[in-house]
Amino acid sequence: MVADVMDRHVMSNGTLSAMVKSDGAELCSLRDTAGDEMLWQAASIWPRHAPVLFPIVGRLKNDTLRHDGKAYRLTQHGFARDKRFAWLNRSATACRLVLHEDGETRAVYPFAFRLEIAFALDDDAIEQSFMVTNPGRGVLPASLGAHPGFAWPLVDGVDKTAHVLEFAETETAPVWRLADGLLQARAEPTPVAGSTLALDPALFEADALILPSPASRSVRYTAPGAPAIEVAWEGFSDLGLWSRTGADFLCIEPWHGTASPTDFDGEFLDKPGLMLIPPGERRTLSMRIRLC
């Protein structure tokens, strides 16, 4: 079914139904055949569902982007999540949206860009593709992140601590943590035991848990008696995990790039973790959310 309203689009394939908003090109609902909602429904403690992070992930030091001797104020996670995208096409099971630079974006991010985001339902999964194109004459420096928030607990009556993340591969590398929104200088031992992370709200008391360059390209989120959700990704270099104290959501976030290190305050082009896209070229990244 296709919604008539201009700011939202509803899709269904008989197995899943989804709703996408033009504001932020944000997936705001994902339901199974029983009508059970998998996404966090934007309560006041965190008023979002699955925002798109662009052209930065996390914070810059002092919220300042430095380029060609000028300073620009660019706040946490960038502006895409708060911009209205234009619809390129919509169908019963898919849609595509686009955002271009404008005067407002150039005031905080002095680069030309084209960001397309596409959604497609495929049996028991939804595929989200991100295409960043550089229409300018110089290199386009950018980060991009997906930020879906899932219900935690997955079903009523199951304790949060009964939930686990099961990675496709063994994850032994140290993890990164944040201090005042910036990457701490030293990594920490991973809390992942082999390929399993036992979930507990205490994991996120110190903000997000970041796996840099994980060996896995997918992870299953599950609990006894609950349907599992698999999140898979391509083109992303890092994985963030986050929740907020007192909130019933878990965010599983494929990222390309992270917050600035605490000691980095240099030229934006030199920031670690960026995509550096030559003129006329494009980067494509994807995330797949599947019931399993």
Q: What is the per-residue pLDDT across 257-281, written as a single tens digit (0 to 9) for each?
A: 999 999 999 999 999 999 999 999 9
Could you tell me the two tokens for 48? 């979002």
Q: Is the pLDDT reported for residue 3 higher than 60?
A: no
Residues 6+ apart with CB under 8 A from 174: 187, 188, 189, 190
Per-residue pLDDT tens for 72-109?
999 999 999 999 999 999 999 999 999 999 999 999 99
| Mean pLDDT value across residues 234-252 | 97
What does the pLDDT read at residue 4?
44
Q: What is the 3-state secondary structure (H, E, C) of 194-259?
A: CCEEECCHHHHCCCCEEEECCCCCEEEEECCCCCCEEEEEECCCEEEEECCCCCCEEEEEEEECCC
> What CA–CA distances, in Å, run from 249 to 42, 108, 154, 158, 200?
10, 31, 9, 14, 12
What does the pLDDT read at residue 5?
58
- Tell me the C-alpha distance between 60 and 189, whole Å: 25
Per-residue pLDDT tens for 120-139?
999 999 999 999 999 999 99
Per-residue pLDDT tens for 221-231?
999 999 899 99
Name the average pLDDT for the chain.
96
| Mean pLDDT value across residues 242-260 | 97
Q: Is the pLDDT reported for residue 20 higher than 80?
A: yes
| Mean pLDDT value across residues 8-33 | 97
| Mean pLDDT value across residues 136-145 | 98
Q: Is the pLDDT reported for residue 64 higher than 80?
A: yes
| DSSP strand pairing (26-31 vs 178-179) | unpaired
What does the pLDDT read at residue 268?
98
- Tell me the C-alpha distance between 291 and 283, whole Å: 27
| DSSP strand pairing (229-234 vs 196-198) | unpaired
User: Band of the pLDDT at 143, cuts 50, 70, 90?
Assistant: very high
What does the pLDDT read at residue 2?
39
Q: Is the pLDDT reported for residue 247 higher than 70?
A: yes
Tell me the whole-structure pTM to 2 decimals: 0.96
Domains and CATH numbers, the chain: 8-291 (2.70.98.10)
